[in-house]
Amino acid sequence: MKHLIFSLPVLIMSIFYSCKPQEAADLVILNGKVLTIDTDNPLAEAIAVVDDKITDVGTNSRIRKLIDPEKTQIIDASGRLVIPGFNDAHVHFGPLDPDFIELRYTTDPSTITAKVKAQVAKSIPGELIRGGHWEHEMFITREWPTKELIDKVSPDNPVVLARADGHSRLVNSYVLKKSGITKNTPDPFGGEIQRDPVTGEPTGILKETAMDLINTGDVKTQRSPEDEAEKTWQGYLLAMKEARELGVTSVQNAGSEDFEAYEKLQKEGELTCRIDIGKPLTGDTDILNKYKELSGKYPDSGDWIRFGYLKAFIDGSMGSGTALMFEPYNDEPSTSGLAMWNYDEFENMVLTADKMGFQIGVHAIGDKGNNWILNAFEKAQQVNGKRDSRHRDEHTQTLQSSDIPRFAKLGVIPSMQPTHCISDKKFYEKRIGTERSKGAYAWRSLVDAGSVLAFGTDYQVEPLNPIEGLYAAVTRKERRGEDGEGWFPEQKLTMEEAIKFYTLGSSFAQFMENRKGMIKEGFLADIVIVDKDLLTIPENEIMSTRVDYTIVGGKVVYTSGK
């Protein structure tokens, strides 16, 4: 009897597949270790694809029957790990600028001086010099940079260098003068003009809304409008190239972008990454009605270019000391961070947009900022009625323990970026102490409380590479490795969980979990093959894992050649 019970499902499946129409595949992947993220069929050997959809997932022998020698492209995975395409739930995606001064991982501030000097030498007077991704906590001195660092090499050019988190900028005296910023300029609401403690003069650091004061003057360029347009187009192509080489098959843009640019990419066969594009959150119904028209043009039912969520900021960042906290910072007791909105005004925007059926995503870093978001989303349910809104808390970085179960209760998506944890942990406890830091990047607590996480990178704040995010989620350690169990190791995830939240979790956050995020029959054929088995390799090998194949909509858009 036991043998009969065991064999009955196998017999049923065998009959099902023998009766099923056998359409020849356009693409098959054989000999893989296929992690499907489908709980009904968690592991497989092979995949068949017709057009842009997965048509079968199973054994090599079964999938081989779908090969037509004249039409089927065959990929031999040779035992490599095959997973769904990575879906970055929070990016600032757009054209890359080849003239941008990259300052990520800089430890010596003099490097900033040297790089600005080199870019000025290639520019004409008055031309804007842009760069960023510096992190003063990585400097040897761990001190904020000042305008003196760049003034001497850029007397005739505006220079704007963004901090890694994007919540502060270093500008030179040229920009301060053009912007009319002096020692007597008051701080705007939600912003700070950093000042020398002795002289009161601006240091060149502008935080949060103070960045809105920046005026670079009549910026000159050596390029014609046609050349500028071509440069932008090439920047989009570079962005697409970077995404596909890293296995990123979908991105959800955290803010406005150019719909028409992506339409052009799609028309010319260059769109190799699906994209959701949102707009800023507002309580203005006239603007919201225009958003409705736009969402009708790029609907949820689409698979490539879609209208996304409405984005707002409730606070700043932990690195800049502007995340909104209930209690003052340990290292700067005079402040508890900055609110970007008066709460009542913020709540009114949420209620208005929610009533009109929009999905809302709000940037929140501090424990008070996150609490405010949950309060507003809860109020929306009380006033407008509960619906499957899947409103999003973008970052969800620091939480009070009492707020953790509210996410699942309210159906709010924690949209989180694991690499922020390993970038920020070096200064978190200095900022807010050990006890409050226990609520930072609380992945395990949120999952155990019933939340569905959506993973991403916050690119270009962090690198786009999803592998770094997987490493961060399972180790909570420095990128170069470190002894011990990691920072608050009780919040670590398993590798399978991390992959799930980077694929199916992110798809759930954009209402696409029924057709994207799993390797499953009927799902979009967005698939990645990596060169190492992420499920079994030691943690010190995760960061060196590379993508060998990226497949989007059944088309191979990248191969490493291996």
Which comes out higher in pLDDT, residue 42 or 140? 42
Q: How confident is the model at residue 438 (pLDDT cuts 50, 70, 90)?
A: very high
- Which three-class secondary structure state does DSSP give residue 268? coil
DSSP state of 398: B
Token look-up 């800089």 returns 106
pLDDT at residue 551 tops 90 = yes
Q: What is the mean pLDDT of residues 310-321?
A: 95
Structural domains in the chain, sorted by start? 21-85+519-562 (2.30.40.10), 101-213 (3.10.310.70), 229-518 (3.20.20.140)
DSSP state of 376: H
Lowest mean pLDDT among 12-26, 89-103, 250-264: 12-26
**Average pLDDT value for the chain:** 94
pLDDT score, position 561: 85
Q: Using one digit for the tens of pLDDT, what is the confidence trace for 249-308?
A: 999 998 778 999 999 999 999 999 999 999 999 999 999 999 999 999 999 999 999 999
pLDDT at residue 181 tops 70 = yes
List, in order, residues 6 or more apart from 496 with CB less than 8 Å away: 35, 535
Reading the block at residue 221, the tokens are 């360029």
pLDDT at residue 203 tops 50 = yes
Q: How confident is the model at residue 137 (pLDDT cuts 50, 70, 90)?
A: confident
CA distance 184 to 270: 50
Lowest mean pLDDT among 20-24, 204-208, 504-508: 20-24
Q: How confident is the model at residue 7 (pLDDT cuts 50, 70, 90)?
A: very low
pLDDT at residue 14 tops 70 = no
Reading the block at residue 354, the tokens are 């929610």
Q: List, in sequence order, every residue forming a beta bridge with 159; answer none if it has no partner.
A: 129
CA distance 322 to 192: 9
CA 369 from centroid of its chain's CA atoms: 19
Q: What is the mean pLDDT of residues 432-446?
A: 98
CA 157 from centroid of its chain's CA atoms: 32
Q: At what angle do helices 343-355 and 367-384 cross, to 10 degrees?
A: 40
Q: Using one digit for the tens of pLDDT, what is the confidence trace for 351-402?
A: 999 999 999 999 999 999 999 999 999 999 999 999 999 999 999 999 999 9
pLDDT score, position 226: 87
Query: Pairing between strand 547-552 and 527-530?
Result: antiparallel
| Percent composition of the chain: helix, strand, coil (DSSP 3-state, to 5) | 35, 20, 45
pLDDT score, position 12: 47
pLDDT at residue 494 tops 60 = yes
> Which residue in 88, 91, 459 sits closest to 311, CA to CA?
91
CA distance 214 to 355: 35
- pTM of the predicted structure, to 2 decimals: 0.87
Q: Which amino acid is at 517?
A: G
Which comes out higher in pLDDT, residue 319 or 89? 89
pLDDT at residue 2 tops 80 = no
Q: How confident is the model at residue 20 (pLDDT cuts 50, 70, 90)?
A: low
Own/partner pairs, 141-147, CB within 8 angstroms, 24+ separation: 141/109, 144/194, 144/203, 144/205, 145/109, 145/112, 145/170, 145/204, 145/205, 146/170, 146/203, 146/204, 146/205, 147/171, 147/172, 147/173, 147/176, 147/202, 147/203, 147/204
- Which three-class secondary structure state does DSSP give residue 465? coil
Q: In what order do the strands lie in the sheet with 527-530?
A: 43-44, 33-35, 81-84, 527-530, 547-552, 555-559
Q: List, in sequence order, every residue forming a beta bridge with 265; answer none if it has no partner.
A: none
Reading the block at residue 271, the tokens are 């769109």
